Structure 1
């Protein structure tokens, strides 16, 4: 399965936009484990995932050609 990864803020300093070929990963919880092992700096940070422009609040299924954004904490005002 191929997914597109985009990142923002400090995370974009070490995770560049890219397409990943992954297998055996079908949910966002599995993807977090994969990303944190592939990018060790990520494991020590707080971050949110968005799947196809929707912030992930709970474990979600990932499909081929989905886009996953990795975002640091943010606030508005």
Structure 2
């Protein structure tokens, strides 16, 4: 499966925007495992994932060419 990864804030310091290809990846839980294995700096860090510009709250199925954003905590109003 091919995904576009976009990172923001301090996460962009160690994960550059990129495309990844990972056979067998079906959902965001598997993506998180892949990311935390590939980028140990994420382990223990609070962050959110958004798939195609929608912040997710629970595991979600992924489809070919989804755009996934990795975002650190943010606040504002």
User: TM tier, shorter chain?
Assistant: over 0.9
Q: How many residues align?
A: 77
Which consecutive residues of structure 2, in runs of 5 or more, have no partner in the other structure?
A: none
Partner in structure 1 of residue 59 of structure 2: 59
Partner in structure 2 of residue 26 of structure 1: 26
Whole-angstrom CA distance in 2 between matches of 1:19 and 1:5: 6
RMSD: 0.6
| Secondary structure, counterpart of 2:32 in structure 1 | helix
Which consecutive residues of structure 1, in runs of 5 or more, have no partner in the other structure?
A: none
Partner in structure 1 of residue 73 of structure 2: 73
1:9 aligns with 2:21: no
